[in-house]
Amino acid sequence: MKIEDLLSPDLMIMDLKATTQKEAIKEMADLEVAQGVVNNEDEFIKSIWARENESTTGIGEGIAMPHARNKYINRAAVLFAKSPKGIDYNALDGQPVHLFFMITAPAGADNTHLQALAKLSSLLINPDVVNALKAAKSPEEVIDIFKLAEAEKDAQDKADAEARKAAASKKDSTPDDKKKPLIVGVTACINGIAHTYMAQEALIKAGKKMGVDVRIETNGSEGVKDKLTPEEIKEAKGVIIASDKKVDMPRFNGKEVVIKPVVDGINHPKELIEDILENKAPIYHADSSASSSDDSGKEKQGVWATIYKHLMSGISHMLPFIIGGGILMAISFIVENYFAGGANNPAFIFLNNAGNMAFAFMVPVLAAYIAESIGDLPALMPGFVGGFMATVYGGAYGGTYTASVMGAKTASPSGFLGGLAAGFLAGYIMVLLKKIFAKLPKSVEGMKPMLLYPILGLLIIALLMYYIVNPIFSGINLAITHFLNSMGTANLAILTTVLAAMMAIDMGGPFNKAAYVFASGAFANDPKSVTAAILMAAVMVGGMVPPFATAIGTTFFKNKYTKEERRAGVSNWVLGFSFITEGAIPFAVADPGRVIPSCMIGSGIAGALVGIWHVGVPAPHGGFWVSPLATNIWGYFLSVIIGSILAGVIMSRWKKPVSEDPDE
């Protein structure tokens, strides 16, 4: 496919009226919709802004390349727009933007479209092309400029390929002092349809001017292209990584490596090459057991952000065990309560055992993947064993405690809290071991992943769990369990109100996850606990209210919602019924000031009713599908209905009417 196939006079704005970045994106998106390129303008604009928030697409030199690849796009295309006066687009060089290329690709775009988009992106590195486009007066002239530039690039690429082939055939006979230095690299950006290929072209061109051979591998939307060979990496003087996402790093062990964002590859290719030539780049040391992706050189996260990332890694791997095991256990209770045979029913025995087996893995998996997130693959096994010890062993003192809050000696594993501690300990133990053994001779390199890390990692985590973590956290776990089970109605209602409201703050984000993990942790520690079932019911109703509230609003207050929001509202009836809070996220993103407070109020009221009416649901997921398990089934339904109606009415009364016809 040629670039001209992606360009159309109907997708060009030769005199952009917008004066701000927001107006420019909206004006271009309007044309995309009018020409049938985009099928959902609101969602498309959100995806454009999501990319801008990661890093500006105003690459400098008066150019911006807003781009997206998702299901809201019907076909691959390039919209060209020109602003003679220039627009402040938050460009990297701080200068106004005059030329805009809004690049779109559908989620299932084929390689021919993606290759054409990649080639167009690489042409924008050519200053002659940019200057010609700035002077262009008509859409036809813009297309002719790209046709000519593409033909010249194709010819140049062919000549370069033949030159590389000829050089490869005679390189063995060329004296070392006559060979050009070779620098290899990788370019990658999040969407992989623009910056990836611009950085590749910029680095190659800069290398030619400096008398350096530059070979760049791209990790774009087509996958890995121009993959570097082991021979090229071995021969290279150094490596340039211009990337906004993870790339395969261990293969560069022992080489000088510069790691920068992809925009630096576009705007500062000469400086990156000079860093390699002048030996300013640090030597990259990859542990032999490291994973194939590496974040080295990336901007360091804050302490809490790092902890949250590791915690979410563990929780994301743990959730299938909670949900799968919990739902099967819930179904088994339905069988026990409503079918003949009760606890002796074969279906109950099978389902309950299967659910319990999945639950048994919950804490070990949590600990294992927290550890793996911190210390890579070698930390997985110590984390897993530490998590298992948290569920089984009380510790060096037998797990027996006498405390006034409990009033009696009781044996208990350290449970969910002990698993958290095990995961972080195992991860950082492995980080420490890697540093300790970093200076070992290369001749014994293979001993580290096969012998040293497993044995020492297991020994240290076992000692810590047995003598420190389990003895401490067993007592804490028992105290928390006792406290929850002894709560009066008033205190319980306060707790359920807070948990339910937290579910609506960010609808799947840190607050939502914190509330869910707290309740599911209590449930995992004691699945038969009445209080744990009430906490699970609280987070369940808290998560069901937002989608139901938006469904109610879009059904009964149509003049307050756009056509697209009304369509989304229909699906939220089903999502709310199934405890899928994320259905309300588009509404919250579009109008956070009204939607989020309204949902928090509704969810909080629903949670309070759960605590007051002692509604318990001994299942970690399922929404109304698991309502037969509720200890107060009518209270379960009513708390959700009341909270949802309240949130939907507040939200809709608060919103302003939209301008479009609600009946169209």
Instruction: List, by residue number, the catalytic residues.
Output: 67, 189
* Sheet of strand 182-188, all strands in order from the earlier edge strand to the far edge: 223-225, 213-220, 182-188, 238-243, 256-260
Query: Residue 235: which of 259, 213, 207, 206 has the closest Cα?
Result: 213
Cα 88 to Cα 24, 60, 93, 101, 131, distances in angstroms: 10, 11, 11, 15, 19
Q: CA 286 to CA 110: how far, in whole Å?
A: 35
Q: Which two tokens stand for residue 239?
A: 């490596």
Q: CA 160 to CA 214: how far, in whole Å?
A: 12
Query: Residue 391: which of 410, 417, 415 has the closest Cα?
Result: 415
Helical packing angle, 380-392 and 415-436, nearest 10°:
150
What is Dmax (Cα atoms) for the chain? 88
Contacts of residue 649, Cβ cutoff 8 Å, sequence gap at least 6: 552, 553
Contact 255, 283 (CB under 8 A): yes
Helical packing angle, 453-464 and 380-392, nearest 10°:
30
Q: CA 564 to CA 586: how far, in whole Å?
A: 10
Q: CA 379 to CA 371: how far, in whole Å?
A: 5
Which amino acid type is present at position 498? V
Which amino acid type is present at position 248? D
What are the residue ranges of helices labelled H in 139-268?
139-170, 195-209, 230-235, 262-267
Label residue 101 left, alpha or beta by phi (over 0 means left) and psi (-120 to 50 means alpha): beta
Q: Locate tokens 């007592």: which residue?
A: 475
Residue 154: CB atoms within 10 Å = 12
Residue 553: CB atoms within 10 Å = 29
SS3 of residue 611 by DSSP:
helix
Contact 208, 157 (CB under 8 A): no
Q: CA 333 to CA 339: how far, in whole Å?
A: 10
Contact 95, 60 (CB under 8 A): yes
DSSP string, 515-544: HHHHHHHHHHH-TT-HHHHHHHHHHHHHHH
Contact 458, 497 (CB under 8 A): no
Radius of gyration of the chain (CA): 30
Q: Locate tokens 């008398």: which residue?
A: 211
What's the burial of 438, exposed, middle or buried (CB within 10 Å: 0-12/13-18/19+)?
A: exposed
Q: CA 160 to CA 269: how far, in whole Å?
A: 19
Query: Residue 71: which of 105, 46, 101 has the closest Cα?
Result: 105
